[in-house]
Structure 1
């Protein structure tokens, strides 16, 4: 049986977070987005835990993040412990007169072994599986500056010949420029941006955030990026965008190359470049663009269950 426990008790058993979105500083930052935050453990078994929010009478993990996931004592727990926890989630929902639950697991980059067990258990126990999201990522340990498509190098050289330069920025005015470029890029493409600049600045108070700008010789801003460093070895691309009217200058190729090298020099192993689509519908062009920039693909899974099911 699952029981709700205090933050202190929960953290005595689970002091380590496999991803930044299940850390206490981040949960504290977004807790107002849920009606109530709960921390669940199995009574008499302290190997797995879940931090979630209750919103509109539904357990949600995450309730304001790209993904969430479980805490666990180590990556090699017995499958039966995983299955038991997933089964007990249903009982917790019905016993507490809740309408259901929705859980999005992190990509395999963050917890390979446990993901396999959780995905299998959710599926076998009759949870609804949404269409998995395609996410793209770059293995920095293998990146040596060689691109899978020669056009990337050609476009990079074009950017250099056009006197474009890459900058890591931290002052308020430059950060505003970063957001403006990304906002306009999304607006032109008809893609929603779900974070305000104020939201990003709030995240910066609990997770290191890097802001990047590409400028031309006259100081005009042509490209931008926002990345998080909430994990020891995985940087996460949140937004990347360019001045689409000048895309032929090779802006994005310069951005990707410089950002890869920036994190490689900081000894990161991976950059998670995020979902390439919306609600399971792939953005074919975006996937292709990331692939020619040496990205691999993985899946991000969401499972749900409603208490009115038999």
Structure 2
């Protein structure tokens, strides 16, 4: 197995990204966050897989500005081919005078078979587990009604929201979309949580990534909002959601969870990824409990590091 470094344009012609955070366009958009971007193609008799790395100093990362990255496969590689690819990658890192490689693949739910093989290979190739985060998602392929997935307290909160006659608005105009972003910014500021994307960065990103914006309203007042990215053809990911603190008693996020579940299930999607509730493996217990209460299933999102 050999590694060929190619241009972003050539990479696009050789491989289909496993998910939107592995696309050339998304990584190029965030190029200012690293010193260089490397587009690597792994091939023997034919192209087997690819990897986009952001290099800063002596460290290479996949991803360098996203929730996850990892390999994009051309077909379904064998375990032996994965072994050979990772051996070649380690040699490439050392040969390019880099000292550290960090890889965070997607949560296992994105491709359980391939990602399980990747996990096995990285373990055997002396990658050290850097983090073990927990990711939460709603299974949209279930035939059960949404309410049956809920814990008792979440069902009560959803009934409260419905009794208060909250409404969902799909934001179709730039002004509505910015209003949704401002609700989330206000929520993050009130709770002391970071908001890593400015509105201008959000606009630039949504030119590359298909995104949906939603407002939950009460008598036309915005009480909560959500921004959702199309991460694959079948998986949608809630990038941000939150409520206006003064309306929290109406349980608008419980309402959003229900409405987004129905919206994307009706659209034929398979998974609504709600994202992690851990930071560097450390859990936010309240957030973990909340996501489980609204019907989420849990999967691991490991991160690995290899040092020369």
Aligned twin of 1:5: 6
Indicate if the aligned counterparts of 1:134 and 1:277 stay in contact, CA closer than 8 A.
yes
TM-score for the superposition, normalised by structure 2: 0.92
Indicate if the aligned counterparts of 1:18 and 1:111 stay in contact, CA closer than 8 A.
no
Indicate if the aligned counterparts of 1:61 and 1:68 stay in contact, CA closer than 8 A.
yes
Query: Hey, what's the Cα distance between the residues in 2 that align with 1:34 and 1:126?
Result: 26
| Alpha-carbon distance, 1:170 to partner | 2.4
| Alpha-carbon distance, 1:182 to partner | 1.2
Aligned twin of 2:273: 272
Say if 1:197 and 1:300 are closer, same or farther in 2 by CA, change over 3 A: same
- Report the secondary structure of 1:300's partner residue: strand
Q: 2:183 aligns with which of 178, 181, 184?
A: 181
- Report the secondary structure of 1:163's partner residue: coil
1:160 lines up with 2:162 in the alignment: yes
Aligned twin of 1:242: 243
- Greater shift, 128-137 or 181-190, is seen at 181-190
- Greater shift, 251-260 or 16-25, is seen at 16-25
Query: Hey, what's the Cα distance between the residues in 2 that align with 1:44 and 1:262?
Result: 44
Query: Hey, what's the Cα distance between the residues in 2 that align with 1:250 and 1:54?
Result: 43
Q: How does 1:145-294 map to 2 (within 5 A)?
A: 145=146, 146-217=148-219, 219-294=220-295
Indicate if the aligned counterparts of 2:43 and 2:49 stay in contact, CA closer than 8 A.
no
Indicate if the aligned counterparts of 1:7 and 1:39 stay in contact, CA closer than 8 A.
yes
| Alpha-carbon distance, 1:37 to partner | 1.5
| Alpha-carbon distance, 1:149 to partner | 1.7
Aligned twin of 1:139: 139
| Alpha-carbon distance, 1:31 to partner | 2.5
In structure 2, runs of 5+ residues without a counterpart are none
Aligned twin of 1:18: 18
Query: Hey, what's the Cα distance between the residues in 1 that align with 2:215 and 2:145?
Result: 23
TM-score for the superposition, normalised by structure 1: 0.92
Number of residue-to-residue matches in the alignment: 304
Aligned twin of 2:301: 300
In structure 1, runs of 5+ residues without a counterpart are none
Aligned twin of 1:101: 101
- Report the secondary structure of 2:52's partner residue: strand
Aligned twin of 1:29: 29
| Alpha-carbon distance, 1:116 to partner | 1.1
Indicate if the aligned counterparts of 2:131 and 2:280 stay in contact, CA closer than 8 A.
yes
Query: Hey, what's the Cα distance between the residues in 2 that align with 1:166 and 1:11?
Result: 37
- Greater shift, 43-52 or 105-114, is seen at 43-52
Aligned twin of 1:79: 79
Query: Hey, what's the Cα distance between the residues in 2 that align with 1:273 and 1:306?
Result: 32
- Report the secondary structure of 1:301's partner residue: strand
Indicate if the aligned counterparts of 1:237 and 1:271 stay in contact, CA closer than 8 A.
yes
Query: Hey, what's the Cα distance between the residues in 1 that align with 2:255 and 2:34?
Result: 40
- Report the secondary structure of 1:268's partner residue: coil
Query: Hey, what's the Cα distance between the residues in 2 that align with 1:144 and 1:163?
Result: 20
Say if 1:43 and 1:136 are closer, same or farther in 2 by CA, change over 3 A: closer
- Greater shift, 170-179 or 90-99, is seen at 170-179
| Alpha-carbon distance, 1:109 to partner | 2.3
CA RMSD of aligned residues (A): 1.7
| Alpha-carbon distance, 1:9 to partner | 4.3
